[in-house]
A = this chain, B = another copy of it.
């Protein structure tokens, strides 16, 4: 049996030429047409003029999210009607999260403009961004992501448009160089908001509890803001397509805006920008020419291409695209084959040296078990896709491998006493481990329920750090038949953001630590982040759980 498996795997590897000669393109015959198809699917952005709704003060409030809240102080006309030379600084509220091109205008009140003025504009998605000093900057990402810009207005009246696209609800405008010789007011401002989302999602059942209506609305806003010429991860930061975010955005889109062409574009873009050896890059850039970010290979993300393709096929029936891109989905499996050992376990130690294995933004998370789980999940999902395309024969080995892996996981990771899955290398009990064992269909439904419940009563459990893993947690709960728990967790986690004033869902949300940042500075977190948008998928896919 051992020899058979080994031979099987070796044959797979050789057959698909995983080890390519440098410079020889595994997808040579298809790459150009994939990139062409990606280009042809670039969606039109719709532009909507947005106007501010009022002025706010950002005030300290221990009970508010990150200890700051915006309090409406005056209608916007208060700004337009008065000397800005006297006002000097305001915070303007647009009433909703917006992504687009911001401009503001001035008018003279007294005398002619005989000297330039200078303004500092600070755009914030959440109140704390408007009042937290950005400098000296200690964050781990580029300081330039922070949305403060200084502009010089050489003459008045005039209008200045900020060159960068901004993503915000609030904008602080400060006069930082006051011309002594004349007086003026800010006479208007607008943001030309952009999105590629145009369809209107269906209405929820009237019986839907308010909290799920709210969560659905904010999910849709989040997704809409991220839908640009690709599914971006976050319109403030990083403004680009990531494989992991794509999967979740496509899921949510399937149940809401149903703009399948954007999913198609992103799949083709990622395929067209894959490595010559066949591996997908986890993130790509659109400008100037489409290009991948080199050396960004996420083991877990790479399999989500096939899963997204399978969902896309099921939603659209677009067999042509699915067949066209099938080789990419299949090819990713080889990243798993190489670590699969004779005993059905994976060589996690080697893989963790060779890959970025993500799963979650969570310091201290041990990923060995989840690594095994997602591999089984990938095999299962890809085999499903193969079946839809009548290509089972190309991956005939998968059912056998899944079985083998299941057996090995139960033997090495499952603790029948506690009902929990833990690693061989580390006995950490984590949500990630249980979730990915369940999504990989290792435990029975009963065992799955037991493990998920045990998480609540076990000490020192490694909890999810970001909404990304929380999505898979809800998926695992539903898969395990724990509808009520899924409902409660969505209401508590995403509802928690709603209660804290979220207009869009956040990249990072730990209810116990609102200042958590993977980048060492919470204002550089994204507060409108694709991977948080999936409640709309759950709410709309499972009306029996959420819409009653």
* B residues less than 8 Å from A143 (CB atoms): 118, 176-178
> B116 touching A238 by the CB < 8 A rule?
no
* B residues less than 8 Å from A293 (CB atoms): 111-112, 114
* B residues less than 8 Å from A116 (CB atoms): 142, 144-145, 164
A117 partner, pick from B140, B142, B149, beta carbons under 8 A: B142
> A288 touching B113 by the CB < 8 A rule?
no
* B residues less than 8 Å from A285 (CB atoms): 112-114, 155
What sequence of 0s and 1s flags, for each residue 141-156 of chain A, a beta carbon within 8 Å of any chain B beta carbon? 1111100011111110
> B144 touching A177 by the CB < 8 A rule?
yes
A440 CB → nearest B CB, Å: 31
How many copies of this chain? 2
* Most interface-central of A114, A117, A179 (chain B CB within 10 A): A114
What sequence of 0s and 1s flags, for each residue 280-307 of chain A, a beta carbon within 8 Å of any chain B beta carbon? 0001010110011111000000000000
A364 part of interface (Cβ distance < 8 Å): no
> A114 touching B238 by the CB < 8 A rule?
yes
Please report the C-alpha to C-alpha distance between residue A436 and residue B150 in the assembled complex, in whole angstroms: 47
> B141 touching A118 by the CB < 8 A rule?
no
A288 CB → nearest B CB, Å: 7
Known: A152-B163, A154-B164. A115 touches B291 (CB 8 A): no
> A180 touching B141 by the CB < 8 A rule?
yes
* B residues less than 8 Å from A238 (CB atoms): 114-115
A43 part of interface (Cβ distance < 8 Å): no
A368 CB → nearest B CB, Å: 28
Please report the C-alpha to C-alpha distance between residue A137 and residue B154 in the assembled complex, in whole angstroms: 18
* B residues less than 8 Å from A145 (CB atoms): 115-116
* B residues less than 8 Å from A158 (CB atoms): 288
A157 part of interface (Cβ distance < 8 Å): yes
> B164 touching A152 by the CB < 8 A rule?
yes
A130 CB → nearest B CB, Å: 18
Q: Which of A92-114 contact B (CB under 8 A)?
A: 111-114
**Chain A interface residues (CB < 8 Å from chain B):** 111-118, 137, 140-145, 149-155, 157-158, 163-165, 176-181, 238, 240, 283, 285, 287-288, 291-295
* Those 8 A-B pairs whose CB atoms lie nearest each other, nearest first: A143-B177, A115-B142, A144-B177, A116-B144, A142-B179, A118-B144, A150-B150, A112-B293
Q: What would 21 A/B residue contacts be, using CB atoms closer than 8 Å?
A: A111-B293, A112-B293, A113-B285, A114-B238, A114-B293, A115-B145, A115-B238, A116-B142, A116-B145, A116-B164, A118-B144, A142-B178, A142-B179, A143-B176, A144-B152, A144-B153, A144-B179, A149-B152, A151-B163, A152-B164, A154-B165
6 additional contacts (CB under 8 A) given A117-B142, A144-B152, A152-B163: A113-B285, A116-B164, A118-B143, A141-B179, A144-B179, A149-B150
